[in-house]
Amino acid sequence: MLKKIDKKMIVLSTTTFLIIWQIASMVYPIVVVPSPRSVILKVFIYLFEKEFYEDLGITLFRGAVAYIIALVVGILIAFLIRYSEILRKIIYPYLMALQVIPRISWILLAMIWFPLNSTIVIFIIVVTIIPIISLNTLDGLYNIDYSLIEMAKIFNVPKVEMVKGIIIPSIAPSIFSGMKVALGTTWKTVVMAELLTVQTGIGARLSYAKAAFATDHIMALTFYIVIVGLIFQGLLTLLKNHFERWKMDA
């Protein structure tokens, strides 16, 4: 629970922020800094707009599909690299290179390669987050405590149980931390890719708002992007805590 002093600080900082924003909006033209009032109004307008929810749904769908594909492929790649010397030599350098290829290069290439629809957005996200998932999973795979496997072998524990009882719980924390970073990246990337390539989704809305110099819309949409992003981070943290109950109240 928040302490009284924390509550006071939040109220104080929010008020100061709003006051500075209000003053800035009076000094600069509305296109540069719209007033807090107009932005808050847009936030409320979106709440009652059916098309906004449709766009949000499309964006979430693209993000989710890409996230799940990258998660499965990324974990698979990590296992291949960990347990095959040859595949490690072949795949690992590409993985490292993939990690530093700018997203904007992928966007440009994808625009040339693919038709301008959801595929392009999903492709961009997948190639961006696969290295994050793979490298984190790999980290977990290298950190499995071999002495526990040894114990299980001596006690004649079946192989399936070794995977379920030792390998998965050992790599889960690394996968979760990869998933967390990848989730943030997915959400930022989906909006950017939409903005640059397609006509639907929250990103496309941002693009239209920019074309119309509707800065208040850009800010209101960003507000929703942040809120939704935080909600998903929160859900992932809940899931992680559920899996790692044993780390609690030690």
Partner 1 sequence: MHKNIEIKNIEKSYGEFQILDNFNLTIPRDKIMCIVGSSGCGKSTILNIVSGLVKPDSGDISNIDDKLISYVFQEPRLLLWKSAKDNLKYVLKGKIDEKNLDEYVEDWLDNVGLSDYKDFYPRQMSGGMMQRLALARAFAMPSNLLLMDEPFKGLDAPLRHKMIELLQRLWENDKKTIIFVTHDIQEALLIGHRVVALSGRPAEVLDNIKLNMPIKDRKIGCTKLNRIQGTLYELIEKGSLGVNNCKIKDKYCPPIGFDTINKNMFNYH
Residues near partner 1, by CB under 8 A = 147-148, 150-158, 161, 165-166, 169, 244, 246-247, 249-250
Nearer to partner 1, 151 or 231 (CB): 151
Shortest Å distance, C-beta 238 to partner 1: 17
> Shortest distance, CB of residue 179 to partner 1, whole angstroms?
18
Closer Cβ to partner 1, 111 or 148, answer by number: 148
Cα–Cα distance, 122 to 120 (Å, whole number):
5
Nearer to partner 1, 51 or 150 (CB): 150
Burial annotation 119-143 (CB, 10 A radius, 16+ → b, else e): bbbbbbbbbbbbbbbbbbbbbbbee
Helix 4-27 × helix 36-47 angle, to 10°: 110
Identify which of residues 54 and 161 has a Cβ nearer to partner 1 in the complex: 161
- If the CB atoms of residues 48 and 155 are measured against partner 1, the closer one turns out to be 155
Nearer to partner 1, 210 or 247 (CB): 247
The separation between CA 236 and the C-alpha centre of its own chain, rounded to angstroms, equals: 10
Q: Minimum Å distance from CB 163 to partner 1?
A: 13
Which residues lie closer than 8 Å to 157 by C-beta, 6 or more apart? 165
Shorter beta-carbon distance to partner 1: residue 50 or 159 = 159
- The distance of closest approach from Cβ of residue 248 to partner 1 in the complex, given in angstroms and rounded to an integer, is 9
Please state the closest distance from residue 165 (CB atom) to partner 1, in A: 5
CB of 164 to partner 1, least distance (A): 10
CB of 236 to partner 1, least distance (A): 19
